[in-house]
Amino acid sequence: MLRLILTCVQVFTSFVIVGLVLLQRGKGAEAGAGFGAGASGTVFGARGATTALSRATAVFAAIFMINSLALAYLGTSSSRQQEVQKTILDEAATPPPKPVPATGSSAPASVPATPPPAAPAPTPTPAPAPMLPTWWNW
């Protein structure tokens, strides 16, 4: 439950940081102020928007970093607790149990005295001779 809450906080703060960074002006935005583009930035005052957005970005970045550390700690502590459980690879590495005889008797099945006849080995076919071009044989 705690991991779910921290994951939601992580996603929320990441979206807020992206939005705040996109709202801020770049360093080249002051060049347009000399040509009349500076009037649009007077909503927060001369320096108010830059300071407020920068501080909000710093606060959400700190929350994001602390939340990342908390999620990493929860991830490593839960993996230590789950070491006892077997994974699929562990189960695949263990041999399957011996089958129980279906006859109901506890005596082992009889082993044949002679091994079954082996199939004859196929004879290898010789490789074909390489085909040389006609101009090769002068």
pLDDT score of 50: 66
Sign of CA dihedral 85, 87, 93, 94: positive
Q: How far is CA 9 from CA 6, 43, 109, in A?
A: 5, 30, 64
**What is the predicted pLDDT for the residue at 92?**
76
- Could you read off the pLDDT of 90-100 as tens digits, one per residue? 777 777 777 77
The structure's pTM equals 0.46
The predicted pLDDT at position 56 comes to 93
Convert the pLDDT of each residue in 31-52 to its tens digit. 555 565 555 555 555 555 568 8
State how far the Cα of 49 lies from the Cα of 51, in Å rounded to an integer. 5
Provide the pLDDT for residue 25: 80
CB-side neighbour CA atoms (13 Å) of 10: 14
> For residue 24, what are the contacts with CB-CB under 8 A and spacing of at least 6?
50, 53, 54, 57
At residue 64, the pLDDT reads 97
- The residues, ordered by sequence, that sit 6+ positions from 6 with a Cβ below 8 Å of its Cβ are 67, 70, 71, 74
> What pLDDT is attached to residue 21?
92
**Helix (H/G/I), strand (E/B), else coil: 51:** helix
Chain centroid to Cα 75, Å, comes to 14
Q: What is the mean pLDDT of each run of 10 residues along the chain (138 residues)?
A: 93 96 77 56 57 91 96 81 67 75 61 68 72 62
Check residue 59 and give its pLDDT. 95
The per-residue pLDDT for 112 is 59
